[in-house]
Amino acid sequence: GAVVSQHPSRVICKSGTSVKIECRSLDFQATTMFWYRQFPKQSLMLMATSNEGSKATYEQGVEKDKFLINHASLTLSTLTVTSAHPEDSSFYICSARDPGRTKNIQYFGAGTRLSVL
Amino acid sequence: SQQGEEDPQALSIQEGENATMNCSYKTSINNLQWYRQNSGRGLVHLILIRSNEREKHSGRLRVTLDTSKKSSSLLITASRAADTASYFCATETQGGSEKLVFGKGTKLTVNP
């Protein structure tokens, strides 16, 4: 299947710092990528839809200035958690659709566990 | 918002037994998908069933969809220890949005 790479897999940072997470589609071009957040033992919550060459579409309640999304190329989207605080600690997962395959299926990265001290 | 509600929340069975997980949703959908997540990892797509389909099979997986009841079930037959994971249903709502709305998931444990 299509491969989505997410980096880093784990990051520990101090409160107040910014953290960048990368999501790459390795063998296909993705005009749309998705960013999710997952709390322990809970489901995935969609944070935003990342559109190549345009602004991301944020879900209600998600602060766009807090979670900066950049989708500068057809294979890369980045999520930057700005001025991270302990409450931002979570598991962040990206996904992408491969237009060359069944378009409704999302292919997921392995996730990034963010721990803010 | 979370549309899907899976039940049970947790299921523990012995190897070789069948596992059935259910999902309910609230709005009209284009399709419903099931994904699997191993602990601390990303999700892997298992199967997609469209709104005009009632049943679909893939290997040991069988999915049903009842749009009148807004519910779906995932059956895993002859379970293996390697099937231990969390299983999520996700719905793509009508209206052209590419977004998926995930349910809360069922944590399946298959004991050897």
Contact in structure between B109 and B11 (CB atoms under 8 Å): yes
Kindly tell me if the per-residue pLDDT of A39 is higher than 90. Answer: no
Phi, psi at A28, each rounded to 5°? -160, 165
Contact in structure between B62 and B56 (CB atoms under 8 Å): yes
| Least Cα separation, residue A37 to chain B (angstroms) | 11
Q: In chain A, what residues touch B107 (CB-CB under 8 Å)?
A: 41
Nearest residue to B21 via CA among B94, B73, B77, B64: B73
- Both tokens assigned to A9: 């897999």
CB contact under 8 A, A46 and B101: yes
Read off the pLDDT band of B6 (50, 70, 90).
Answer: confident
Alpha carbons B72 and B95: distance in angstroms, whole number: 20
- Sign of CA pseudo-dihedral B22, A35, A114, B43: positive
Q: What is the pLDDT of residue B96?
A: 62
Mean pLDDT of A2-23: 96
Q: What is the pLDDT of residue B2?
A: 40
Q: In chain B, what residues touch A104 (CB-CB under 8 Å)?
A: 30-31, 33, 48, 92
Numbered residues of chain B with Cβ closer than 8 Å to any chain A Cβ: 2, 4, 30-31, 33, 35, 40-45, 48, 88, 92, 98-105, 107
Model pLDDT for residues A52-110, shown as the tens digit of each residue? 888 899 999 999 999 999 998 999 999 999 999 999 999 999 999 888 887 789 999 99
Read off the pLDDT band of B1 (50, 70, 90).
Answer: very low
- Both tokens assigned to A81: 């958690």
